[in-house]
Amino acid sequence: MQKRAIAVHDISCVGRCSLTVALPVLSAAGLNTAIIPTALLSTHTGEFQGYTHLDLSDQLRPIGDHLSTLGLHYDTFYSGYLANGAQADEVLRLMDQLCDEQTHIFVDPAFGDHGRMYSLMDESMPRQMRRLVKCAKTIVPNMTEASYLLEEPWPGEEAAEATVTDFCRRLLELGPENVVVTDVNFRPGQTGIAVLRRGMEKPLYLFHERFEGVFHGTGDVFASFLLAALMNDKPVETAAQIALDMTHFAIEETVRSGEPLRYGMQFEKVLPLFWQRIRTE
Ligand code: PXL
C-alpha cells in the first residue's frame, strides 16, 4: 500500500521553504502527500521586504472537520511553520481528528534561527510549540528553537558539545522518541546534527563541511528528507545521515549556481540521488 502523509505548513509562493519543499520531497519519495496550509505568504520572511501574509487559522477547523469524514489513514502528520502561537490549538485538533495509533507525528518547530524568532512570530510560540512537541514521535529543532523550547538562553552559533548533548536529553524528556537537532557547529569548519533516540545513551553526531552564509529553507529541506527516509523504513540514524548528505549537496548546488540564497536551496537536483539512496541503503 502506498503511504499517505499530511503536511501542515505555510505556503510561501516564492522562496522554496515549507510546503513548496515538503510536498515535492515527500512525493518524490513515493508518499501520497496531502497538505493543509497554515498561512499564505508571497515569500518567506527572511531577506524579503513587503511580503503579504494571510493567516489561515479560521480554515483549519472546517478543513479538519471535512477531512475527518473521509476515513483516511495517514502514515505521517508533518507540522511546520504556524501563522501564530494560538494556531497550535487548531493543529492539536487536526492531530486528534486525522491521526491514529500508527501515525508518525513529526514536528518541525520552524519558528526561529540564529538566536532569534522569525519576523512574524509572537512570544507565545515556544510555549505553544512545546504542546505539539509533546505529541510528536520525532522533532527536528535547530539550536535556536531548542533553546526557546527549553527556556534556555541561546548558546551562540558554536555551542559546545556538552550543551548540545544536554539540550538533546532534555528535549527527549518533553515527550518525543527521536530528537534530531540541527545547526550543531562545535567542530571548526563543519556543520552537523545530533541524533538522540530513546534508549541511546548519548547523541550520535554527524557532520559535513560548512559553507559560509545564511541558507534559507535548509531546515525545511533537511526535515523533509529526514521524514521521507523514515517513511521508507530507514532507522532514524540512517535517515538522518541521508538527509544531512542531501541537504549538503543541495547547498553545494545552490552555492555553485550563484543563485541568490533567498530563493532557497536547489533540492530538486538531488532528488534522483535521494531515490537511489533510499532504494539501496
Ligand atoms: O523555513 C522556515 C520558514 C517557513 N515559512 C516562512 C518563513 C520561514 C523562515 O523564515 O519565513 C513563512
**CATH code of 222's domain:** 3.40.1190.20
Find the 146 Cα to ligand 1 centroid distance in Å.
17
pLDDT at 169: 98
Query: Which residues touch 201 (CB under 8 Å, ≥6 apart)?
Result: none
Which residue reads 510536498 in cell numbers? 23
User: Contact, 32 vs 3, CB < 8 A?
Assistant: yes
The span from the CA of 220 to the CA of 80, in Å, is 8
Which residue reads 532534555 in cell numbers? 170
The ligand 1 atom at the shortest distance from the C-alpha of residue 10 is 5
The Cβ-side half-sphere exposure at 143, using a 13 Å CA radius, reads 23
Does any ligand 1 atom lie closer than 6 A to the CB of residue 103? no
The span from the CA of 255 to the CA of 244, in Å, is 16
pLDDT at 19: 98
Does any ligand 1 atom lie closer than 6 A to the CB of residue 108? no
Going by DSSP bridges, is the β-strand pair 4-14/76-79 parallel, antiparallel, or unpaired? parallel
pLDDT at 109: 98
Which residue reads 513548496 in cell numbers? 20
Find the 279 Cα to ligand 1 centroid distance in Å.
31
Does any ligand 1 atom lie closer than 6 A to the CB of residue 79? no
Helix axes 19-28, 218-230, angle to 10 degrees: 30
Does any ligand 1 atom lie closer than 6 A to the CB of residue 48? no
Does any ligand 1 atom lie closer than 6 A to the CB of residue 81? yes
The ligand 1 atom at the shortest distance from the C-alpha of residue 118 is 10
Sequence-distant contacts of 188-194: CB under 8 A, at least 24 apart: 192/244, 193/222, 193/240, 193/244, 194/164, 194/165, 194/168
Select from 211, 223, 180 the least CA-distant residue to 198: 180
Backbone phi, then psi, for 261, in 5-degree steps? -65, -20
Q: Which tens digit of pLDDT belongs to each residue from 89-127?
A: 999 999 999 999 999 999 999 999 999 999 999 999 999
DSSP-based three-state secondary structure for 259: coil
Query: Which residues touch 135 (CB under 8 Å, ≥6 apart)?
Result: 92, 95, 105, 107, 175
Q: Which three cell numbers stand for residue 248?
A: 549538503
* Residues 221-253 as b or e (16 or more Cβ within 10 Å = b): bbbbbbbbbbbbebebebbbbbbbbbbbbbbbb
Can you give the residue range of the structural domain that contains 10?
4-280
The runs of H, that is alpha helices, within 202-281 are 218-230, 236-257, 271-280
Does any ligand 1 atom lie closer than 6 A to the CB of residue 172? no
User: Which amino acid is located at 78 in the chain?
Assistant: Y
Counting the structural domains of the chain, the total is 1
Q: What share of the chain is helix, strand, coil (3-state, %, to 5)?
A: 40, 20, 35
Backbone phi, then psi, for 144, in 5-degree steps? -65, -50
Check: pTM over 0.95? Answer yes or no. Answer: yes
Please tell me the residue having the least CA distance from ligand 1 atom 7: 44
The ligand 1 atom at the shortest distance from the C-alpha of residue 218 is 1
pLDDT at 15: 98
Regions in the chain scoring below 50 on pLDDT: none
Find the 33 Cα to ligand 1 centroid distance in Å.
20
